[in-house]
Amino acid sequence: MTYLMSSSTGNDAVVETEKPQTESRKDNPQRAEPQLVQVATPDQSEQDDVQAAEPSPPTDDEDAQAEPINFSDDDIFASTDSLEDIFIDSTGRVSQTALTSALGQDNFDGFVTRINRIEATEAAAEREAKMNQQLIDTFGSDVYQSNHACSERICAITFTSTTRIDEERLARFSAFGSHYRFTRLDSNEYDEDVLKAIYISTDNPSTLVFSPN
């Protein structure tokens, strides 16, 4: 994976993926940006020393390339802990393999639905309610085919928008809590924006560290 600084904001770390563009997006130069997994960090004015998140050096047992994670495995969704263990290790590092596997799957809607079946804690229910309200406040009636769920620290959402999802609107929507933000923006056959997003709650978004795998 290549870690870059976003040219659009100047202070977002991004992980490039290889999702092919749809034909309609190829024909529209204004929509021909690469598909990215985006990691939100604080504004530069508030956090001058924020840098792009880098993976920690691999240990002896982490040298091998990690295999993509199969999210059809029922054991992953057995509990809040089993889900979070896939994305966050014991030291608090975030798994880039889990993120790219989750956001890159064709049936991300099914992934969100399976999170929704995990028994929600009071904190998870509160975060999901805030996320839903922020979605309404930000996009209103522009959104359809929306599906969202939260399980303690992890929230996931996907929706289609009849209007463009630009960074300003995405940042406004993402303000429902304090978290790491990972997003993927695709387009459907009607050239409408389709967002997939994973949010991992944290007290300090500037402390993001990726695990090597």
For residue range 103-146, what is the model confidence (pLDDT) as tens digits? 999 999 999 999 999 998 999 999 999 999 999 999 999 999 99
pTM metric for this prediction: 0.75
Count the domains in the chain.
1
Domain limits for position 166: 3-42+69-211
In a domain, 13, yes or no: yes
* Joined tokens for residue 89: 């290790």
pLDDT in tens, 175-207: 999 999 999 999 999 999 999 999 999 999 999
pLDDT band at 66 (very low <50, low <70, confident <90, very high): confident
Q: Which residues does 186 contact at the CB level (< 8 Å), separation at least 6?
A: 19, 22, 35, 193, 194, 196
In a domain, 178, yes or no: yes
pLDDT in tens, 3-60: 222 222 233 333 434 343 444 444 443 443 334 444 544 343 333 333 334 444 444 4
R_g (Cα) of the chain, nearest Å: 17
In a domain, 189, yes or no: yes
3-class DSSP state for residue 158? strand
Residue 208, number of CB atoms within 10 A of its CB: 22
In a domain, 59, yes or no: no
In a domain, 50, yes or no: no
Q: Which residues does 133 contact at the CB level (< 8 Å), separation at least 6?
A: 176
In a domain, 38, yes or no: yes
Helix or strand (DSSP H, E) at 121: none
